Structure 1
């Protein structure tokens, strides 16, 4: 009997340990829980940042940049100021993020497309216009906030913003010039045409509302890209077989011939 009870006590001890182990293991695992959010922070962060920019845009419009502080933005979002610090450290930090997302990143893509010799000017112009319009359609509050806050940008962000704007305009002008030289575009003022396209694309941030006549950002971007090309492209029957100065002269002769016929009529 004693031997059995001894064996029983021995067997009971490991059993109690086995019952206790899940608790200790659970205690050891609990610190690892934040790792479970690694698949979610991107989408959640984007949602929160979108709300931050939307509230900031509204408050800056109502009170001005100087009249708005981070506490105002936190109150509008229903969160604490320390919680807001997880996403933005200051108003200057918020504006710097805007410049990086809305000016610098697209400018780099525009430059790359403008210099892509594997694409003809028409395709390059369409892609650039689509890129700009699609971004504006998807981030209207951010773009509007950036425009309203340009005068309040910190020096480094202001410099980066101007550089990005110049790079984007230069890229568009380069594509326009290539299109004119190759006879694909009408002989337009390339700077004026580039500014017109940029303005048309930027304005999407104001008139496009998902669920309207154009249901998606993609539909809005496609429409604007088509219109950008239509502004400058020549009719298909006037595209010369060769490019360069000779092509431009050939088209000019056609225009002069047409003018003479009109005057003689």
Structure 2
């Protein structure tokens, strides 16, 4: 079970929780188109008389495609509810995953099939650089295509950060004067923002995102069973004489807040 969860967490780096089957659909569409593209490209390579010039062009183009890949994978991870995926090093894993998937297409579609059919007996430096360019191109196309197919259905970045921030701010209802009407109004606002956050987290697709949603809903269910005074204690925390149950719920709240701050970009 744990091994399965570990595998799923790794897959989340390229699917961002939307399922490997959708990712494979986009990848297979690329694989189908690679043959038509390479039938033209292979003959073009044989006619190149100034390979050094084209090596520079292909290398520069690869950098551009890599930039597009980074931009779209970064956008996709920012629209997940997985705190680990917000880390820069996890972005590197996502990028390498897309490059590896595209590398499979290029290896079989170009290096093995196209070059083999042209009767070439060796692969020179131009072929390598051209292969790198094609790999980054198809990795970028894969990221763009996958983004358009599934990720655009997720709440946008502004909605995520706005909803999380509004709920965090609404926790300040505990600081209002107990005898004022403002406290009840602030508590009602907190309840509304909690409903908004619950609805937002219902969009969680990744392993860590779904865990955050379960943790929040479990904490919320327990929280709503308490009296108003206990609710304030859960949010504020306690002094030396601690109620063990309330302290545990306070710690759960802090854990949820920490993960939400990471998702909202307020904490690394």
TM-score normalised according to structure 1 size: 0.28
**Larger gyration radius, structure 1 or structure 2:** 1
If asked which structure has higher relative contact order (CA below 8 Å, sep 6+), I would say: 2
TM-score in terms of structure 2 length: 0.28
